């Protein structure tokens, strides 16, 4: 699409941000907010001003939904599936998510979706697939891992761990490390790892995909994960991690148990 976009950022405060995208082709103004914090009032005033501006110009506001009181900008096409995907995830672990975007990739070589702590992106042609909710839950697993579970830096003991995601460092009190350490060293899989220690083939890619695939299995295929946990010690540790550290003891009686527990699928989103 030959759409010119002008993006201007207005910083209201160090914690509150207003992002205005003027789309001259489609004649619409899109509003998105960052976190609502103690400056909520000020934030709302600015929001009102922009809404008035939108109304004046007879332009349509992009749909926005609230995840656990955090205003995340979600494209309208994803609203229903997004609500479905988030319904079982504890609110406090999704607070870092700021927006969800749809991207186009005519080469179809990029992944169907990707996410970090703040932004989740879904490929446009993947939207109609029947596994879209599963894809979103996998990506939300990354949001939980990277944005929901974070440690706190302690300058007194410089508690930076050896685990890293590119330039992103993790502190030793980050709960995600408990999960990573079941099957991973900071550099690779643990030497004693076997394929059956993982919920699927893609989970063996790295500790982050292991987390996201296991997270998805826990929610959507709880019976299967529980059956695997009874057979494999590392999977039992992973199951217990999700049960107590992510879901406050809640278990999901979802899906079915496959006949052969010694076969792993490649991709949990396709189960
Ligand atoms: Zn992933």
Give this prediction's pTM.
0.76
pLDDT-wise least confident of 19-23, 185-189, 219-223, 235-239: 19-23
Q: Are 82 and 100 in contact (CB under 8 A)?
A: yes
- Cα(199) to ligand 1 centroid in Å equals 14
| Backbone CA torsion sign across 232, 239, 81, 143 | negative
Q: Is the per-residue pLDDT at 17 higher than 60?
A: no
Question: What is the per-residue pLDDT for 23?
Answer: 36
- Cα(131) to ligand 1 centroid in Å equals 14
Question: What is the per-residue pLDDT for 109?
Answer: 86
- Cα(210) to ligand 1 centroid in Å equals 8
- Cα(200) to ligand 1 centroid in Å equals 13
Percent over 70 (pLDDT), the chain: 75
Which residue ranges make up each domain of the chain? 1-62, 63-126, 160-270
| Backbone CA torsion sign across 34, 32, 117, 200 | positive
- Cα(266) to ligand 1 centroid in Å equals 13
d(CA 164, CA 188): 12
Q: Are 88 and 248 in contact (CB under 8 A)?
A: no
- Cα(114) to ligand 1 centroid in Å equals 6
- Cα(137) to ligand 1 centroid in Å equals 10
- Cα(245) to ligand 1 centroid in Å equals 20
- Cα(211) to ligand 1 centroid in Å equals 9
Question: Is residue 33 very low, low, confident or very high in pLDDT (cuts 50, 70, 90)?
Answer: very low
Query: In the numeric block, which tokens belong to residue 203?
Result: 């989970």
- Cα(216) to ligand 1 centroid in Å equals 10
- Cα(139) to ligand 1 centroid in Å equals 6
The total number of residues written for the chain in this structure: 271
Reference 160, options 170, 168, 150, 151; nearest CA is 170
């Amino acid at each position: 699409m030959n759409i010119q976009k002008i993006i201007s950022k207005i910083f209201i405060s160090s914690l509150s941000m207003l992002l205005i995208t003027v789309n001259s082709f489609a004649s619409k103004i899109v509003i998105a907010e960052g976190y609502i914090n103690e400056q909520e009032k000020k934030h709302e005033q600015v929001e009102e001003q922009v809404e008035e501006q939108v109304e004046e110009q007879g332009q349509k506001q992009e749909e926005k939904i609230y995840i656990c009181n955090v205003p995340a900008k979600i494209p309208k096409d994803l609203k229903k599936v997004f609500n479905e995907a988030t319904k079982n995830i504890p609110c406090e672990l999704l607070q870092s998510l700021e927006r969800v975007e749809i991207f186009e990739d005519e080469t179809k070589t990029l992944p169907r979706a990707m996410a970090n702590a703040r932004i989740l992106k879904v490929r446009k042609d993947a939207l109609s697939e029947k596994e879209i909710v599963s894809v979103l839950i996998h990506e939300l697993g990354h949001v939980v891992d990277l944005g929901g579970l974070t440690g706190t830096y302690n300058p007194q003991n410089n508690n930076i761990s050896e685990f890293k995601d590119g330039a992103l460092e993790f502190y030793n009190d980050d709960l995600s490390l408990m999960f990573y350490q079941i099957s991973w060293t900071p550099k690779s899989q643990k030497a004693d790892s076997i394929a059956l220690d993982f919920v699927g083939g893609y989970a063996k890619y790295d500790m982050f995909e292991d987390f996201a695939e296991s997270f998805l299995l826990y929610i959507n295929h709880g019976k299967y994960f529980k059956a695997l946990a009874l057979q494999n010690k590392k999977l039992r540790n992973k199951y217990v991690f999700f049960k107590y550290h992510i879901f406050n003891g809640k278990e999901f009686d979802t899906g079915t148990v496959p006949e052969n527990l010694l076969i792993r699928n490649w991709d949990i989103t396709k189960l």
